[in-house]
Amino acid sequence: SSASTSAAPASSAPAPAPPFNQETLQQRLQALIEGARESWTYAIFWQSSYDYSGASVLGWGDGYYKGDEEKGRGKSKTTSSAAEQEHRKKVLRELNSLISGSAPSADDSVDAVDEEVTDTEWFFLVSMTQSFVNGGGLPGQAFFNSSPVWVAGADSLGSSTCERARQGQIFGLQTIVCIPSENGVVELGSTEVIFESSDLMNKVRVLFNFSN
């Protein structure tokens, strides 16, 4: 239910909403999670734009990963095998060198990569490569219908028709919520079961109403 490429506005397509400041977007995501009573693991803003054909797509806008602090890093659950962990660490090492502009080195492995890459960290990282056509996946459904999608419970996620929900369940999530805003969709995920809250939806409407 997701497209594999990110979108650039086509010159003949309708003008998308003006891009908003990356820093304030990060602050809004952080405020949403840190100010919540519930324990959310991450928040992602999927930004609405258009692909080369003018079709509406949701692509990565920004994300804030909090993790599962109560559980402590050492106790974070991972279902990954040793080979999978090596793969994740290798990818992280390469991403680290991509960002820092240097070749992967022993030093890199000491500070950021040698620690286990948890399932939720990996789910969050992989999310950066994804985008959703209008109506596709949980974010696409929420945006297309202008209506929140709230999936709570491992069974509900695991039996969802959406690939992203099923992937989330495999990587230890128990709740995924997608709340539409003017220019995109705010997605929150948690390793705990969190039931629907109008308070959270109101916060999203206030924090992500970019025209104000």
Binding site for other proteins (CB under 8 A): 6, 22, 26, 60, 62-63, 65, 67, 72-74, 91-92, 94-99, 111-112, 115, 121, 124-125, 128-129
**Shortest separation between residue 141's beta carbon and other proteins, angstroms:** 23
Choose between 127 and 167: whose C-beta lies nearer to other proteins.
127
Contact call for residues 141 and 187 (beta carbons, < 8 A): no
Choose between 78 and 97: whose C-beta lies nearer to other proteins.
97
Residues with Cβ < 8 Å from 12, sequence gap 6 or more? 54
**Shortest separation between residue 90's beta carbon and other proteins, angstroms:** 10
Choose between 108 and 148: whose C-beta lies nearer to other proteins.
108
Pairwise CA distance, residues 151 & 190, whole Å: 11
**Shortest separation between residue 123's beta carbon and other proteins, angstroms:** 12
Residue 198: helix, strand or coil by DSSP? helix
Choose between 16 and 153: whose C-beta lies nearer to other proteins.
16
Choose between 51 and 121: whose C-beta lies nearer to other proteins.
121
Pairwise CA distance, residues 138 & 129, whole Å: 16
**Shortest separation between residue 99's beta carbon and other proteins, angstroms:** 5
**Shortest separation between residue 53's beta carbon and other proteins, angstroms:** 19
**Shortest separation between residue 101's beta carbon and other proteins, angstroms:** 11
Provide the 10 A C-beta neighbour count for residue 101: 6
Helix (H) or strand (E) holding 144: helix 137-145
Choose between 107 and 199: whose C-beta lies nearer to other proteins.
107
Residue for token pair 């022993």:
106
Q: Give which of 159, 161, 149, 184 is closest to 47, Cα–Cα.
A: 184
Q: What are phi and psi of 36, to 5 degrees?
A: -85, 145
Contact call for residues 178 and 138 (beta carbons, < 8 A): yes
